[in-house]
Chain A
Amino acid sequence: MTAPLTNTAPTDPIVAMRDVDMAFAAGRVDGRPVVQQVLHKVSFEIGAGETLGLVGESGSGKSTAGRIVVGLYEPTGGSVTLFGQPITGPDRRANLANVRSRLQFVFQDPHAALNPRMRVGSSIAEPIEIAGRHSRKDRDDRVRQLLEMVGLPRDSADRFPHEFSGGQRQRIVIARALALEPGFVVCDEPVSALDVSMQAQIINLLMDLQARFGLSYLFIAHDLAVVRAISHRVAVLYAGSIVEVAPKPDLYARPQHPYTRALLDAVPRPDPWRERPPVIAGEVPSLLAPPPGCRFHTRCPHVMPRCRVDVPRLQSTGPGRLTACHLFDEGGIAAVPDHSSRPASHVER
């Protein structure tokens, strides 16, 4: 991962989400059915061999986005295309079946990701078995090969999940994800449930595998430091909308959207001498009744009258950078002070 693959959105993406909406029915209020808009006009693309980090807090919709991308949920609006095949719309099932072997998913909770009653080898071999293309012997060989690839002893195949630690189970989950040589893997918080020392091992493993096999990842996490280690580009989600997309070095050095900055400021650093930036107030708005205009305006230190009315759209704010914020309208990048100095009060326009 020494040279970033692309600084701009890929020209030939293998994953393309366009204007995806996701609404869940949420019961009734006063007799009228109420809907929770979990995702709103979410768009992003991922090219071959690259990692897009998807960052957000609770209520951001990032997990839902991950599940939509692998076809577990069908979005209520917009389109999703994988390896050139649309998995939304009329040919959904057929197309999904075609690309299925090239997709995979790594889950967050290593304790729930493996069937406790199945031997580990069987769990890993299951995708191969379902695809039905290989003999028993081929499957066993492949399982052994996969175990070695993820750094587990070969005799692990006969054991049950409870005989392994959390970090080891996560390796098993990764082995299963690689069984059919996928091109694209969605990793949903794969290291959040692990100890710090184990996190580093798993992240290194994921990067190693990416380099070897040219995998693409959608890396979903709330931990900005972990995302920084593994991503090429990063997209930030807030309350169901993407607020910023940028190449990794740019996002962390020069974040543009006020939420991105607030997020970066809020992460505690192992540095007792650091001057603590002001803490942002408020909480993520309810998705049942989101605030009008920009969903972040209720907490934004730079809120302007316009923000309360107009929903900002993602616009280009630099090479490979997209930001959805009225501060950047009409190319007004200069309006926002540099990351290093904090404004004490609102910026009025």
Chain B
Amino acid sequence: MTDLSIRSVAVSPVLAPRRRFMLLRRLLAHRSFQIGAVLVLALTLAAILAPLTGVDPSSMRVRLRFRPPSEAFPFGSDNFGRDVLTRVLYGARVSLWIGFVVALLSGLCGAVLGVIAAQIRGLDAPLMRLMDALMSFPAILLALGITAALGPRMESVIIALTVAYVPAGVRIVRASALVVRELDYVQAARIAGAGNFRIMLRHILPNSVGPLLVHMTFVFAYSILAEAALSFLGVGVQPPTPSWGNIIAEGRDYATEAWWVMLFPGLGISLAALGLNLLGDGLRDVLDPRLKGTG
């Protein structure tokens, strides 16, 4: 019984069969994620297929202004006689694009800055104070200031919102990165002689971004709402290019006569925000035990 050679004792048996993409499968099975994904995909599809209406969003038929929703104008017509449906679909392109780019950019900046702040002690304090300063401005005011300075355009809106949302991302990633930094595998890399760059890129970054991904879906939603607010204030995307925000802004003046002008883009914003929130919920539930980066 004690006479077992080392070879036979040391070899461990065949590994269990691989179960790939467990995370993805779990995600796809999650109810909130499914609903959210369907909503977002539907809206994205609608935005992409906007030209299918065959109508030019800027073509005005002034004699047909303020028509309520009918067969000719499924979402009604606005004060210039433009087809609200077409404008909303083209507006979706702008609003969704803004949301997507802001989420992506602020996420990237947040990830990079967060990991740097956690790993390089000398930069931690200055970076975080800078983020604190940025965060102390309400996002809308900050965005307002920046778009006013850069001139109201889609690009300014994107830059402004990105700047407004980066600090939250940095904080989230830094918090995770601080935990990951103390884990054994990072110590192992240090013992092997890995430099800061390698440690940040290969070890800390991939394991700290879980919570950030969830946050990014919410930033997507906030950006769409923020764009609407900025348009209300006149510093968002400028007409005649439609965005959900500026359609609502324009429709405000005659809200009582043509409620449909505000309703449909408003619905679009609500559905997009809802869908993204549900997506984010699903992501968070699935990633939760892994948010700490230890698998």
Interface residue ranges, A against B (CB under 8 Å): 70-72, 97, 100-101, 103-105, 107-109, 111-118, 123, 126-127, 130-131, 150-153, 155-156, 159-164, 167-168, 171, 173, 176, 200-201, 204-205, 208
Q: Are B190 and A126 in contact (CB under 8 A)?
A: no
Most buried by A among B11, B188, B207, B290: B188
Given contacts A107-B187, A113-B184, contact A152 B295 (CB under 8 A): no
Judge if B31 is at the interface, Cβ distance under 8 Å. Answer: no
Partner among A123, A151, A164 whose Cβ is within 8 Å of the Cβ of B11: A151
Q: Are A113 and B18 in contact (CB under 8 A)?
A: no
A117 to B203, CA, bound (A): 8
A318 to B206, CA, bound (A): 54
Judge if B16 is at the interface, Cβ distance under 8 Å. Answer: yes
Given contacts A112-B294, A115-B202, A163-B16, contact A131 B193 (CB under 8 A): yes
Q: Are B191 and A111 in contact (CB under 8 A)?
A: no
Q: With both chains docked as a complex, state the minimum distance between the C-beta of B125 and any C-beta of chain A, in angstroms.
A: 18
26 contacts between A and B (CB under 8 A): A72-B187, A100-B191, A105-B188, A107-B187, A108-B184, A109-B184, A112-B184, A115-B202, A115-B207, A116-B207, A116-B290, A127-B192, A127-B193, A130-B193, A131-B193, A151-B11, A151-B12, A155-B15, A162-B295, A163-B15, A168-B12, A201-B9, A204-B6, A204-B10, A205-B6, A205-B10
Contact residues in A for B62 (Cβ distance below 8 Å): none
Q: With both chains docked as a complex, state the minimum distance between the C-beta of A84 and any C-beta of chain B, in angstroms.
A: 19
Most buried by A among B191, B198, B202, B290: B191
Contact residues in B for A113 (Cβ distance below 8 Å): 184-185, 188
Given contacts A72-B187, A130-B194, A208-B6, contact A111 B12 (CB under 8 A): no
Judge if B36 is at the interface, Cβ distance under 8 Å. Answer: no
Given contacts A116-B207, A117-B206, contact A100 B193 (CB under 8 A): yes
Q: With both chains docked as a complex, state the minimum distance between the C-beta of B110 and any C-beta of chain A, in angstroms.
A: 18
A155 to B14, CA, bound (A): 10
A113 to B189, CA, bound (A): 10
Judge if B91 is at the interface, Cβ distance under 8 Å. Answer: no
Q: Are B188 and A176 in contact (CB under 8 A)?
A: yes
Contact residues in A for B188 (Cβ distance below 8 Å): 105, 107, 113, 173, 176
Judge if B233 is at the interface, Cβ distance under 8 Å. Answer: no
Within B1-55, the residues touching A (CB, 8 Å) are 6, 9-12, 14-16, 18
For the side of the interface on B, what is the size category?
20 to 34
Q: Are B189 and A126 in contact (CB under 8 A)?
A: yes
Q: With both chains docked as a complex, state the minimum distance between the C-beta of A83 and any C-beta of chain B, in angstroms.
A: 15
List 5 additional contacts besides A115-B207, A117-B207, A127-B192; criterion CB under 8 Å: A71-B191, A72-B190, A111-B294, A115-B206, A126-B194
Q: Are A153 and B15 in contact (CB under 8 A)?
A: yes
Contact residues in A for B11 (Cβ distance below 8 Å): 151
Q: Are A107 and B184 in contact (CB under 8 A)?
A: yes
Q: With both chains docked as a complex, state the minimum distance between the C-beta of A97 and any C-beta of chain B, in angstroms.
A: 7
Partner among A104, A115, A204, A208 whose Cβ is within 8 Å of the Cβ of B185: A115
Decide if the interface of chain B is mainly helix, strand, loop or mixed.
helix
A159 to B14, CA, bound (A): 13
The digit string for B251-295, where 1 denotes a CB below 8 A from any CB of A, is 000000000000000000000000000000000000000100111
Partner among A71, A116, A123, A161 whose Cβ is within 8 Å of the Cβ of B293: A116
Judge if B120 is at the interface, Cβ distance under 8 Å. Answer: no
The digit string for B45-73, where 1 denotes a CB below 8 A from any CB of A, is 00000000000000000000000000000
A70 to B12, CA, bound (A): 30
Given contacts A127-B192, A176-B188, contact A159 B15 (CB under 8 A): yes
Q: With both chains docked as a complex, state the minimum distance between the C-beta of A338 and any C-beta of chain B, in angstroms.
A: 31
Q: Are A123 and B185 in contact (CB under 8 A)?
A: yes
Judge if B183 is at the interface, Cβ distance under 8 Å. Answer: yes
Contact residues in B for A109 (Cβ distance below 8 Å): 184
A111 to B14, CA, bound (A): 20
Q: Are A150 and B294 in contact (CB under 8 A)?
A: no
Within B200-226, the residues touching A (CB, 8 Å) are 202-203, 206-207
A305 to B266, CA, bound (A): 85
A63 to B24, CA, bound (A): 39
Q: Are A103 and B191 in contact (CB under 8 A)?
A: yes
Q: With both chains docked as a complex, state the minimum distance between the C-beta of B210 and any C-beta of chain A, in angstroms.
A: 10
Given contacts A111-B294, A113-B185, contact A104 B191 (CB under 8 A): yes
